[in-house]
Amino acid sequence: MIKGLTLVAPVASEEAFAQLGELFRALGFEQGKGWAEESGKGAAFLAPIGNLEFVTGRVPAVPPLLIEVTQLDSVHAAVQAWLVAHQRTEDVAAKLSQPALTHWNSRLFTVDLSAGLSVGFWQSENPLHNKPIAIEGDLSAAGKRFAIVVARWNAVITDRLLQGSLDALARSGCAKSDIEIVRVPGAWEIPSAARTLAESRRFAGVITLGVLLRGETAHYEAIYNEVARGIGQSQQETGVPHAFGVLTCETLEQALDRAGLKAGNKGFEAAIAAIEMASIQEKLGAAKRETVEAKS
């Protein structure tokens, strides 16, 4: 009979509401079904596991909202970057604690995200806690180079996608000088540029951005299939992660919604996927090297 848990967190302003949404998407939360009406709006963020915990006796000194994560240090870095971007620098240290050991064999840090909204992020020190050991990517782009291939066709949308990608890369610690932007005429040209960039071996990931509008594109299915196949093939054959940020929409309005208006910014999401995959590739490479060395 029970279906789920919902914690309602009031947010003081529209600006804080939007900024929190950006942070939670960047951290990898799945966006749930939000709502909007004249009197207010809600944004839902879903986590794979939820539990309501009654505690008696020794009650831990933690905020009531705790988010369990993997890669606590990367999450800390992402939260810190977000605070620096949105709050006064002098407030950051007061609002964000350093990760510290808890008495329940975990590490935890707390952050005041907005007025009255304090959150604790924690990670179990027990690698078998909750799930089998898995290799997972983190969201740090520091020291990695990324290429963005963006189509000029429907530039009013693709420029917004590009802004979203640049925003995600900057927040994840990628230096401006480590980003190369390549503008191509239309979505059709994305795969060949992506492939050339991937083959150069200079990039940890390639982010592809474009918009195909069904109503206005002759042979829409054929073009879309070829663009998707080309990008996928480039990824598979070069081994360099390619994030797919090519929107396929019925109308311009729908595309605008997905480029930052109502349904998130797919350019931002694509960049986050590229960052995560670049990290996974790095870890898989290291794991493979360790196996080879152990055998030799």
Residue type for position 221 = E
8-state DSSP, 27: T
Which residue has 């992660």 as its token pair? 241
Site for ligand DLZ in 25-84 (CB under 6 A): none
The correct pick among 40, 64, 127, 185 for binding ligand DLZ (CB under 6 A) is 185
Nearer to ligand DLZ, 23 or 211 (CB): 211
Distance CA 200, CA 154 (A): 28
Spell out the long-range contacts of 106-110 with Cβ–Cβ below 8 A and sequence spacing 24 or more: 107/72, 108/62, 108/66, 109/72, 109/76, 109/79, 110/62, 110/63
* Residue 212 is a binding residue for ligand DLZ (CB under 6 A): yes
Distance CA 51, CA 155 (A): 44
* Residue 210 is a binding residue for ligand DLZ (CB under 6 A): yes
Residue 129 CB, nearest approach to ligand DLZ (Å): 46
Which residue has 């004249």 as its token pair? 38
Site for ligand DLZ in 213-252 (CB under 6 A): 213, 216-218
The correct pick among 24, 45, 188, 203 for binding ligand DLZ (CB under 6 A) is 188
* Residue 154 is a binding residue for ligand DLZ (CB under 6 A): yes
Stretch that binds ligand DLZ, among 8-16, 81-89, 184-192, 199-207 (CB under 6 A): 184-192
Q: State yes or no: is 219 an active-site residue.
A: yes
Distance CA 138, CA 28 (A): 10
Residue 216 CB, nearest approach to ligand DLZ (Å): 6
Catalytic residue, chosen from 86, 129, 219, 242, is 219
Residue 188 CB, nearest approach to ligand DLZ (Å): 3
Residue 224 CB, nearest approach to ligand DLZ (Å): 9
Select from 169, 161, 147 the least CA-distant residue to 272: 169
> What values do phi and psi take at 186, rounded to 5?
-145, 180
Nearer to ligand DLZ, 127 or 215 (CB): 215
Which residue has 């840090």 as its token pair? 109
Axis crossing angle, helix 14-26 with helix 266-295, rounded to the nearest 10: 30
Stretch that binds ligand DLZ, among 3-11, 99-107, 149-157, 200-208 (CB under 6 A): 149-157
Distance CA 164, CA 155 (A): 14
The correct pick among 24, 45, 146, 153 for binding ligand DLZ (CB under 6 A) is 153
Nearer to ligand DLZ, 224 or 268 (CB): 224
The two three-digit tokens of residue 271, written as one number: 């960049």
Distance CA 79, CA 186 (A): 36
- Site residues (vs ligand DLZ, CB under 6 A): 151, 153-154, 185-189, 210-213, 216-218
What amino acid positions are annotated as catalytic residues?
A: 219
